[in-house]
Structure 1
Amino acid sequence: MSDDYEISSDPARLDAALVHHWLSTDAHWALGRSRDKQDRAIAGSLNFGAYDRASGAQVGYARVVTDRATFAWLCDVYIDSSARGKGLGTTLVAAVRDEEETYGVRRMLLSTPDAHGVYAKVGFKGLTAPDEWMVYLYDN
């Protein structure tokens, strides 16, 4: 990725309306997500934006549910179609990984049906003991 983009976790820079639009209309995992639900997710998370240096426009987003001490869950990683194919997604995820490391987080998890290669580039691996993990799925 070139120096054309910068990553920031400054909440004042985040364009919540744009993030909601991207996720609710183009991200298969969040299609139809309400603005209220997205705003609550943003409020309860550590949020990262990727910004075009020339224009200042937000072109990417990632959200981390974290206690900033022991655990983190990476989700809602999205790159605008205008900025895809330039390595920005990998750079964004690496920035998230690096910031979480400064807190001493022991593990960061994520779930993806199709982007394993992006995450593997920054050190994510498949679960070594999947039989230890459980999930509760709500019906909503």
Structure 2
Amino acid sequence: MSIEFDTDKQRLDRNMVYRYLSGESYWARGLPRDIFERSLDGALCIGGYDAHGKQVAFARVISDYATFAYLGDVFVLDSVRGQGVGKALMTYIQAHPQLQNLRRFMLATADAHGLYAQYGFTALSAPERIMEKLDPDVYQRLATASKPA
């Protein structure tokens, strides 16, 4: 399958990406629209488009473009899964000129370890050094707080 990738945020089908992340993904379910829009503003966003120009894939990289990057919000639509789109997306990301010679490139996944391992990602080399502040219910609390009484 021929897919074109680029980082033009104006080309993104923001409604489709938002629907997928907030409604279908396991990691961003309930994501408020305003937070979604801010997340795009602060990242290198990659869209994948089929021969008709329809967006079928997405990824977001948060980086200082010198030492560190975090890959997140990666997805390929069901209609084109299993056709090499995820691999092509990862190849594009790994070759992107702004993401070269980074000391650390991280991601989190619940189910795609095999894909990412093909691109050099491994379990943490020193997990005792890595910490996180996790608030998995933040979007649900925001939704509840914004509802009128």
TM-score by structure 2 length?
0.85
Q: Which runs of 5+ in 2 are unaligned?
A: 139-149
What does the per-residue CA deviation read over 1:4-42, in whole Å, with 9 as the maximum and x for residues that have no partner?
A: 111111222111111101111111111111111110100
**Which amino acid is the alignment partner of residue 50 of structure 1?**
G
Counterpart AA for 2:130: W
Give yes or no for the alignment of 1:132 onto 2:134: no
Look up the match of 1:97.
94
Match of 2:7 among 6, 9, 32: 9
Task: Give the match's secondary structure for 2:66.
Answer: coil
- 2:125 match: secondary structure: coil
2:6, 2:46 within 8 Å by CA — same for their partners in 1? yes
Please tell me the residue identity of whatever aligns with 2:23: T
Deviations 1:32-77 (A, max 9, x none): 1111111010011100001002x10000000011111111000000
In 2, Cα distance between equivalents of 1:56 and 1:91: 16
The answer for the alignment partner of 1:45 in structure 2 is 43
What is the CA distance between 1:122 and its match in structure 2? 1.4
Match of 1:22 in 2: 20
Match of 1:118 in 2: 115
CA RMSD of aligned residues (A): 1.5
TM-score, normalised via structure 1 length: 0.90
Larger Rg: 2
Correspondence 1:33-112 to 2 at 5 A: 33-53=31-51, 55-99=52-96, 102-112=99-109
Percentage identity across aligned positions?
42
CA distance in 1, matches of 2:128, 2:47: 34
| Corresponding letter in the other structure for 2:13 | D
Q: Distance in 2 between matches of 1:103 and 1:88?
A: 22
Matched positions, count: 137
* Residues in 2 aligned to 1:28 and 1:76: alpha-carbon distance in whole angstroms: 10
Which letter does structure 2 place at the counterpart of 1:36?
D
